Structure 1
Amino acid sequence: MKATHFSEPAQLIAFVLQKGPEWDPVVVNLLESTWGPLRYKGKLFPFDKTDYYTPEMGDGLFRGVVSFEKCIPPETIAQEKARSNALELTTASSDNSDHRHVNVDIGYMDLDKVVLPSYKRGPFKLYAGGGVWLDMLLTYAKGEFHPTAWAFEDFKRNPYQHDLQLIRERWRKSAK
């Protein structure tokens, strides 16, 4: 029996970590020059439950979610991860410290979940090839996104709930 290849398009999204409570127009421009026009730009929320990025990016960090008009086949997310890393490097300090000014966690949303690729392995991540591991951080059921047990703290609190629901609804409408 011959297997058929089927890939349902997924909504390309990014969780963006930056300084300040307002979207940096330079960051938004970089996102759009890399992946095309934004479909949705969510609210930025304080990223204050961990100091993991403080040594590199400093204090006063905020994270928000955006979606793009672009949809992708999920199996191409590894290429998008490489593009996000290249974008981050363009914002790094030129003093050889390699301190990024923005962290872009590119990923995708389908009807059931939010998945982020990573170059770091983990006990709940699935290997996708090419050094990329897939991390399903949120599942969608009964009208809400629910964090997985292993999700990062901000995903467990999920201040992005409203924005993710709007992104999902706009994507569903555009896909029809």
Structure 2
Amino acid sequence: MGEIKKFTPVKLICGIIFSDDPIREKARARLIEKFGPADALSESFSFNFSHYYDQDMGQNLKRCFISFESLIDPQNLPVIKHQTNDLEEDFRLLFPGVHRPVNLDPGYLKASALIMATTKDFAHRIPLTAGIYAHLELLFTRQKARTLGWTYPDFYQPGYQVFFLQVRKTYLSQLKKLKAGQLT
């Protein structure tokens, strides 16, 4: 019988899909207020791989990512997804001219993978709790991010992968410090 152990803490990240820079800045500020200081902010990438959000959010969308300093328990991902959905609703009230001013996609990075939270079921998604599923987005090897058959098209962009590999490097350093008792 295998020994049951606590989960290794993981690195909280969040994707932000938006159309206007002021919305992006407000979203980053609200996420930092909710989840603590950021240790990495990506550039804004064109989100032109899908028209899925056009009706709700408009066109010429962009996406950026934020990584947070504090490590989390991966079991908290469903709660965090509900919290980001609540933040999206707050933004709907702040920017009444747009049906959906922002899309917030939380997830976490661990040594071997990037996992995103979703409310949409599919064959490769694992149900967690409270209507939230885990979506395995990328796998990591020593110096590389590997896509999968179901990886969202925009995650194939080299800029995304460079960002996540840098966040992974920070995360691995944090894990070393955690194991050495230098991080709580």
Matching residue of 2:132: 132
Q: Distance in 1 between matches of 2:157 and 2:24?
A: 24
Q: What pairs up with 1:7-86 in 2 under 5 angstroms?
A: 7-20=7-20, 24-86=24-86
Distance 1:145 1:21, change over 3 A: farther
Contact kept? 1:42, 1:65, Cα under 8 Å: yes
RMSD: 2.2
The answer as to whether partners of 1:147 and 1:156 remain within 8 angstroms in 2 is: yes
What amino acid maps onto 1:119 in structure 2? T
Greater mean deviation of Cα atoms: 5-14 or 94-103? 94-103
Which one is further off, 113-122 or 98-107?
Answer: 98-107
Q: State the Cα distance separating 1:98 from its structure 2 match.
A: 7.7
Percent identity reads 23
Equivalent residue number for residue 155 of structure 1: 155
Deviation at 1:142, TM superposition (A): 3.5
Aligned to 2:182: none
* CA 170–56 in structure 1, closer or farther in 2 if over 3 Å, else same: same
Displacement of 1:15 in angstroms is: 1.1
Counterpart of 2:59 in structure 1: which amino acid?
D
Post-superposition CA distance 1:45-92 (Å, at most 9, x none): 000121111111111211111100121111111111111101111111
Alpha carbons 1:119, 1:132 under 8 Å: kept: yes
CA distance in 1, matches of 2:89, 2:167: 27
Residue equivalent to 2:123: 123
Q: Hey, what's the Cα distance between the residues in 2 that align with 1:24 and 1:130?
A: 27
Amino acid at match of 1:116: M
Which string of whole-angstrom CA distances, capped at 9 and with x for unpartnered residues, describes residues 116-164 of structure 1?
A: 1111100100111222111101000131111111111101335301111
**Unaligned ranges ≥5, structure 1:** none
Q: Distance in 2 between matches of 1:3 and 1:174?
A: 25
Query: What is the count of residue pairs matched by the alignment?
Result: 176
Which residue of the partner structure matches residue 170 of structure 1?
Answer: 170
Q: CA deviation at 1:4?
A: 3.0
Q: Is the 8 A contact 2:15 2:106 kept in 1?
A: yes
How far apart, in 2, do the equivalents of 1:162 and 1:144 lie?
A: 9
1:160, 1:23 → 2: CA distance?
20
Higher helix share: 2
Which stretch of structure 1 is more off in the superposition, 132-141 or 96-105?
96-105
**TM-score, L = length of structure 1:** 0.90
Gaps of 5+ in 2: 178-184
Q: What corresponds to 1:92 in structure 2? A: 92
Distance 1:4 1:49 in 2: 41
TM-score, scaled relative to structure 2: 0.87
User: Which stretch shifts more, 80-89 or 155-164?
Assistant: 155-164
